[in-house]
């Protein structure tokens, strides 16, 4: 069961990255761009941490086991990861051509407030957090806890940058949207 859960979680991540890569080809043309170093830095940090927590060569990986995955825990971790993937894919599909891997203004850019955006302002980030949480729950190591904390902080900072950008470009509509949809990343929490 643990091997199946491990492969399932890995498959969720593969689907996530493949969909993101393919969908990027269908985005609208960019007309204005914010500085991109933060997003790229966050992505590389996450990739390095994901790879590092699964290998012994990573210098910071101490692999202290906090808990061992049981069949039940593995099933829950897989379900959380799949839920995160589903949310991220739903949010990505809802954005359509407005999506970008960096903070940009697209040609005929629209403020999206439907689908998962009616419940949380950054549902892709929420989906990624769920995926990381599911993965970390399965791993049960201190490395995973560090990875999760890093991702939470990184996505919270990125969400804040993105909101400043959206407020500048949708000066009237975005503050009204924020007043209506209070949750930035996690409903009722953050």
d(CA 90, CA 39): 21
Least Cα distance to 117 among 104, 102, 103, 127 occurs for 127
190 inside domain = no
Identify the pLDDT of residue 78: 95
Contact 116, 128 (CB under 8 A): no
131 inside domain = yes
Q: What is this structure's pTM?
A: 0.81
Identify the pLDDT of residue 168: 85
Domain of residue 53 covers 2-180
Mean pLDDT, 10 residues at a time, the chain of 190 residues: 86 91 69 54 57 50 75 94 96 80 64 91 94 92 83 86 86 91 80
User: Quick one: tokens of 23?
Assistant: 């969908």
Contact 156, 185 (CB under 8 A): yes
d(CA 96, CA 3): 35
185 inside domain = no
Q: Which domain CATH number covers 135?
A: 1.20.120.1630
Which residues partner with 32 through β-bridges?
105
188 inside domain = no
Identify the pLDDT of residue 125: 93
Which strand (E) or helix (H) includes residue 148? helix 142-169
98 inside domain = yes
CB environment 73-83: b (16+ within 10 A), e (fewer): bbbbbbebbbb
120 inside domain = yes
77 inside domain = yes
Quote the number of domains for the chain.
1
Q: Is 104 helix (H, G, I), strand (E, B) or coil?
A: strand
11 inside domain = yes
Identify the pLDDT of residue 25: 75
d(CA 168, CA 183): 20
């Amino acid at each position: 069961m643990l091997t199946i859960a491990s492969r399932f979680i890995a498959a969720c991540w593969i689907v996530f990255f493949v969909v993101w890569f393919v969908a990027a080809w269908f985005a609208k043309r960019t007309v204005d761009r914010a500085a991109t170093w933060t997003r790229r830095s966050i992505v590389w940090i996450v990739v390095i941490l994901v790879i590092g927590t699964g290998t012994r060569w990573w210098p910071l990986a101490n692999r202290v086991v906090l808990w061992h995955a049981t069949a039940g825990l593995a099933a829950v971790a897989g379900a959380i990861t799949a839920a995160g993937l589903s949310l991220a894919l739903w949010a990505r599909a809802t954005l359509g051509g407005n999506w970008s891997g960096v903070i940009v203004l697209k040609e005929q850019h629209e403020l999206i407030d439907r689908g998962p955006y009616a419940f949380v302002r950054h549902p892709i980030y929420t989906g990624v957090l769920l995926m990381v949480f599911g993965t970390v729950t399965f791993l049960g190591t201190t490395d995973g806890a560090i990875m999760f904390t890093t991702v939470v902080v990184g996505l919270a900072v990125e969400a804040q940058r993105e909101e400043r950008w959206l407020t500048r470009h949708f000066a009237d509509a975005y503050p009204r949207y924020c007043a209506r949809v209070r949750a930035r990343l996690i409903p009722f929490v953050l």
